[in-house]
């Protein structure tokens, strides 16, 4: 019987100069490094089956990053097909902005402006700021290096798995009495009815050991993006960095952490019911609470105090359950399957297109005397520009090809997807999976933004707009059914023996 073999590696992606930070409709540049941002790789092999899973402290994994990282990996490691490399993002907004161009809001806004007026970024790229091209190269290089190093140091290993709970993620979409919904919606209003979805406090955990049962690493899966510090102007790995600090303080600096973001497209680290304001002003108008009431609740989940608490909650589960775990084994089936799914492109109607054109024309005409159009104007036309862009795209495209990986490790299933997947889809996969424990890894091997549910599409607003993602609920249903089917086929004895 073949041995289970595992290797770990980590590489820092902290740049040597300030960098643009991603994830908001206003511009930010890093002022200092609050905590290390890194890529962590775990290579796993048994017999002919193999996979390398990489967790990156970035906002998403673009197709271009996947391609470049795999190309670089192929040059470093010729023993593993690049297709075995799975790259996921923790969705921190305080990492490197590396995606250049292809900004529909900027491009389409420029189309409607006169020839002598164009969109102008407030922070212009120059030699003192890390460019998007440099950031892409750095992330791709370090990802490939970590993956190659993890593969080269793999050794005979053992593993165990556990389940914990930590209150980290909460639904971030409020529903009102006219059936509309709003991301970051204010619940302190008579029109508020409910939150649109639930939350998942589960923490799925895997511990890896060497052949002497000495701990080497931890996989942790939490249904919440790492965006507590999303409005800050420093570099940080957000709450996952705190988790790493706490578990290394307990077990030693040699312990690796593979952080997997679960299905969390409609989740956030903030409780909309017990809302606690940021300690500092936030530019996002949806965060402002005009009738703010001070609550006895968690510390601000916009700030480092809340970040440390979220990290501590997860780390406490990892640490406590480690000492209770007794079922450590090196005997586990390993199966890895990947495939491309063609999901239907979410389409805009002709009337939606013409409405978007009129709205941008009106906005530009209303502001015709402005000397400079900047990020505030981009934010104002963002939704309409996305509709125009989608309508044009759907004239030639009908589907979105997405890469999906399904892994079986003993009693555990891992299912990936490239979306900010709404929680309901992850719940359906986990509830119908035949595995004892199912890990959902979103924002992996692609970055196709939000995948909302049908009820979210009806409710509208950011994260459910056509602009917010490439695929709608029909594609979400297809992805869910296919993931369930592929997981359960791996628990078919005939499938394993074949």
Token pair of 203, please?
A: 């923490």
Q: What is the pLDDT of residue 101?
A: 60
3-state secondary structure of 259: strand
Does the pTM exceed 0.85? Answer: yes
Residues 171, 181: Cα–Cα separation, whole Å: 12
Q: What pLDDT, on a 0 to 100 scale, did the predictor assign at position 86?
A: 98
Domain spans of the chain, in order of start: 5-102+127-338+400-497
The DSSP symbol for 122 reads S
What is the torsion angle, in degrees rounded to the nearest 10, for the CA atoms of residue 62, residue 64, residue 65 and residue 71?
A: 150
Reported for 283-290, long-range contacts at CB under 8 A and 24+ positions apart, including other chains, are 283/24, 283/26, 283/231, 284/24, 284/25, 284/26, 284/184, 284/231, 286/182, 286/183, 286/184, 286/185, 286/462, 287/184, 287/231, 289/186, 289/188
Alpha-carbon distance of 374 to 120, in angstroms, equals 5
The count of residues in the chain is 498
Judge contact between 410 and 91, C-beta under 8 A.
Answer: no
> Which residues are 56's β-sheet partners?
39, 89
Kindly state the tokens that stand for 487: 């997981």
| Residue 281: per-residue pLDDT | 86
| Distance (Å, whole) CA 453 – CA 441 | 18
Measured CA to CA, the distance from residue 381 to residue 389 in angstroms comes to 12
Residue closest to 275 by CA, chosen among 257, 290, 249, 293:
293
CA proximity to 483, closest of 412, 410, 401, 413: 413
- Determine contact, residues 310/168, Cβ cutoff 8 Å: yes
DSSP summary character for residue 245: H
Consecutive H or E run containing 29: strand 28-29
Ranges assigned E (strand) in 239-316: 256-261, 267-268
Helices 423-432 and 473-489: crossing angle in degrees, nearest 10, is 20
Q: Give, in order, the Cα–Cα distances in Å from 305 to each of 48, 238, 327.
A: 46, 11, 36
Listing from the earlier edge strand, what are the strands of the sheet with 412-416?
334-344, 399-409, 412-416, 437-441
CB 226 within 8 A of CB 56: no
Query: CA 130, CA 125: separation in Å to the nearest integer?
Result: 8
DSSP state of 469: B
**Helix pair angle (63-76, 132-152), 10° resolution:** 40
The sheet carrying 155-165 orders its strands as: 85-89, 49-56, 38-46, 5-12, 155-165, 202-210, 215-222, 256-261
How far apart, in whole angstroms, are the C-alpha atoms of residue 206 and residue 217? 8
Handedness of CA 197, 198, 201, 203 (dihedral sign): negative
With both helix axes pointing from N to C terminus, report the angle between 375-393 and 350-366 in degrees, rounded to the nearest 10.
160
pLDDT at 267: 98
Q: Which residues of 471-482 are buried (b: 16+ CB within 10 A; e: fewer)?
A: bbbebbeebbeb
pLDDT per residue as tens, the chain (498 positions): 699 999 999 999 999 999 999 988 788 999 999 999 999 999 999 999 999 999 999 999 999 999 999 999 999 999 999 999 999 999 999 999 998 765 778 889 989 987 678 888 766 667 799 999 999 999 999 999 999 999 999 999 999 999 999 999 999 999 999 999 999 999 999 999 999 999 999 999 999 999 999 999 999 999 999 999 999 999 999 999 999 999 999 999 999 999 999 999 999 999 999 999 999 888 887 788 888 999 999 999 999 999 999 999 999 999 999 999 889 999 999 999 999 999 999 999 999 999 999 999 999 999 988 888 888 898 899 999 999 999 999 999 999 999 999 999 999 999 999 999 999 999 999 999 999 999 999 999 999 999 999 999 999 999 999 999 999 999 999 999 999 999 999 998 656 544
Nearest to 310 by CA among 156, 114, 409, 166: 166
pLDDT of residue 27: 83
Rounded alpha-carbon distances, angstroms, from residue 401 to 85, 91, 344, 440, 448? 18, 22, 9, 19, 10
45's CB contacts (< 8 A; 6+ apart) are 4, 5, 6, 51, 154, 334
* Per-residue pLDDT, 464: 97
């Amino acid at each position: 019987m073949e041995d289970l073999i595992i290797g770990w590696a980590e590489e820092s992606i902290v740049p040597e100069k300030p960098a643009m930070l991603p994830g908001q409709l206003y511009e930010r540049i890093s002022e200092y490094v609050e905590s290390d941002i890194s890529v962590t790789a775990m290579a796993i092999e048994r017999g002919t089956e193999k996979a390398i899973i990489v967790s990156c402290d970035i906002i998403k994994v673009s197709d271009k990053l996947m391609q470049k990282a795999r190309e670089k990996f192929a040059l470093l490691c010729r023993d593993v097909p690049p297709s075995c490399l799975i790259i996921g993002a923790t969705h921190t907004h305080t990492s490197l902005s590396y995606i250049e161009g292809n900004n529909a809001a900027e491009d389409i806004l420029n189309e409607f402006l006169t020839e002598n007026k164009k969109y102008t970024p407030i922070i212009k790229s120059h030699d003192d700021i890390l460019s998007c091209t440099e950031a892409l190269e750095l992330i791709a290089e370090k990802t490939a290096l970590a993956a190659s190093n993890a593969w080269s140091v793999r050794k005979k290993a053992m593993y165990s798995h556990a389940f914990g709970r930590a209150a980290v993620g909460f639904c971030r979409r409020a529903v009102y009495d006219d059936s509309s919904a709003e991301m970051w919606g204010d619940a302190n209003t008579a029109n508020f009815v409910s939150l649109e979805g639930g939350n998942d406090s589960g923490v799925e955990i895997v511990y890896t050991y060497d052949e002497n049962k000495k701990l080497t690493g931890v996989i942790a899966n939490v249904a919440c993006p790492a965006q507590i510090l999303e409005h800050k102007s420093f570099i940080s790995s957000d709450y996952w960095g705190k988790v790493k600090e706490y578990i290394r303080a307990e077990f030693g600096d040699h312990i690796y952490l593979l952080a997997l973001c679960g299905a969390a497209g409609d989740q956030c680290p903030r409780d909309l019911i017990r809302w606690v304001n940021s300690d500092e002003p936030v530019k996002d108008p949806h965060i402002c609470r005009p009738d703010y009431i001070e609550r006895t609740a968690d510390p601000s989940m916009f700030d480092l105090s809340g970040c440390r608490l979220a990290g501590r909650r997860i780390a406490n589960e990892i640490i406590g359950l480690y000492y209770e775990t007794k079922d450590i084994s090196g005997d586990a089936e390993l199966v890895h399957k990947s495939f491309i799914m063609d999901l239907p492109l979410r389409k805009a109607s002709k009337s939606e297109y013409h409405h978007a054109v009129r709205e941008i024309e009106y906005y530009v005409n209303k502001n015709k005397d402005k000397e400079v159009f900047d990020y505030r104007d981009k934010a104002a036309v963002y939704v309409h520009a996305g509709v125009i862009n989608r309508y044009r795209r759907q004239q030639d495209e009908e589907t979105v090809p997405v890469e999906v990986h399904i892994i079986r490790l003993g009693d555990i299933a891992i299912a990936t997807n490239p979306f900010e997947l709404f929680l309901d889809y992850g719940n359906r996969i986990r509830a119908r999976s035949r595995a004892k424990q199912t890990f959902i890894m979103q924002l992996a091997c692609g970055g196709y933004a939000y995948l909302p549910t049908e009820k979210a599409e009806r409710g509208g607003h950011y994260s459910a707009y056509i602009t917010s993602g490439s695929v709608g609920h029909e594609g979400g249903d297809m992805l869910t059914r296919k993931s369930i089917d592929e997981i359960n086929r791996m628990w078919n004895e005939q499938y394993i023996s074949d």
